[in-house]
Amino acid sequence: MNAGSVIALSGGVGGAKLVLGLSHVVPSGQLTVVANTGDDFDHLGLRICPDIDTVIYTLADLANRQQGWGRAEETWTFMQVLRDLGGDEWFNLGDGDLALHVLRTNRLNNGANLSEVTAEITKSFGIEVKILPMSDEPVSTMVETPEGMLAFQHYFVREHCEPVVTGFDFKGIEDAKPNPALIPVLAYKTDAIIIAPSNPFVSVDPILSVPGLRDMLRQCGAPIIAVSPIVGGDAIKGPAAKMLVEMGLQSSALEIARHYQGFIDALVIDEKDADLAPAILAMGIEACVAPTVMKDLDDRIQLAKVTLELASRLNGGLAR
């Protein structure tokens, strides 16, 4: 049934989990990840791409699962010396992780674009999934707070998501173009577009805000399926629930449906949220109830299968 390609839109941790599940189910070479780059930033002169790196480390089985970022079996000598030298220490960089940042920065400074560098790194790690930065142009997610705008990593890491969020701005988005490598992928038969259970505001919206990207995805005709990052009213990880509340919205899978209304065909919600299915259906969105909390590899694979079976069903001619 899965003769076509599958495209997943992903942020960091939660998204990467589902991407890993999909990589076990989708035939080799047919899975493409469009990764959020709104989190990317320059730190100590190094270009850091947190979401791309989390996807890479997760697929290469190198991710530090406790931390939710960086590499497992890491050492921290760089940070210790950086502290002695009075350097900026709010953003932790492991010694092994640094190799990736130094190589990438050097390649970018020598004229390569982020797609090329990402493809090189992905290949070095033996990853067969195609990981595409949403755009090669830099986009910076800014978080609006009562005290002013904060660059995303300042909000997320330095301020531990503590400031109240009143809005978002994707700096540079008007000049960003969708990753050109998406065009041949979309020209091929696409079976499914999966929005991984990533933060809708800061992981998925930057991707969908790249001018033209939303339409490209919609126009390819494949069913678009989101997996709710909100389960039982809370986020598995990260500030999605807190953001929803601060934005005056409900922290509920129903709000996720509302957020993606007009773009998605179906929403996968957790069994805990089964009672929300009728309201989601009433919005014109197929609701699919399944276990969505991914604790181990088997959970990731099962959820991946759920999304692909749902796509297959929607492709089969179900009324949309």
Interface residues toward its own copies, by CB under 8 A: 44-46, 71, 74-75, 77-82, 84-87, 94-100, 102-103, 105-106, 109-110, 120-121, 124-125
Residue 47 Cβ, how far from its own copies at the closest point, in Å? 10
Sheet holding 31-35, edge to edge: 130-133, 31-35, 5-10, 190-195, 224-227, 266-270, 286-290
Q: Determine the length of the chain.
A: 320
Q: Which is nearer to its own copies, 89 or 162 (CB)?
A: 89
Nearest-approach distance from CB 78 to its own copies, in angstroms: 5
* Helix, strand or coil, per DSSP, at residue 75: coil
Contacts of 105 (CB under 8 A, 6+ apart): 45, 46, 47
Looking from the CA of 77 toward its CB, the CA atoms found within 13 Å total 4
Q: Which is nearer to its own copies, 157 or 293 (CB)?
A: 157
Nearer to its own copies (CB atom), residue 101 or residue 300:
101
Q: How far is the CB of 85 from its own copies (least distance, A)?
A: 5
Closest contact distance (angstroms) between CB of 53 and its own copies is 12
Nearer to its own copies, 108 or 164 (CB): 108
Q: For its own copies, which is the closer residue by CB, 39 or 97?
A: 97
> What are the CA-CA distances from residue 240 to residues 20, 231, 235 (Å)?
21, 11, 6
Type of residue numbered 245? V
Q: How far apart are alpha carbons 111 and 151 in whole angstroms?
A: 25
Q: Cβ of 113: how many Cβ atoms within 10 Å?
A: 16
Query: What secondary structure letter does DSSP report for 275?
Result: G
Rounded to the nearest whole angstrom, what is the least distance from the CB of residue 93 to its own copies in the complex?
A: 9
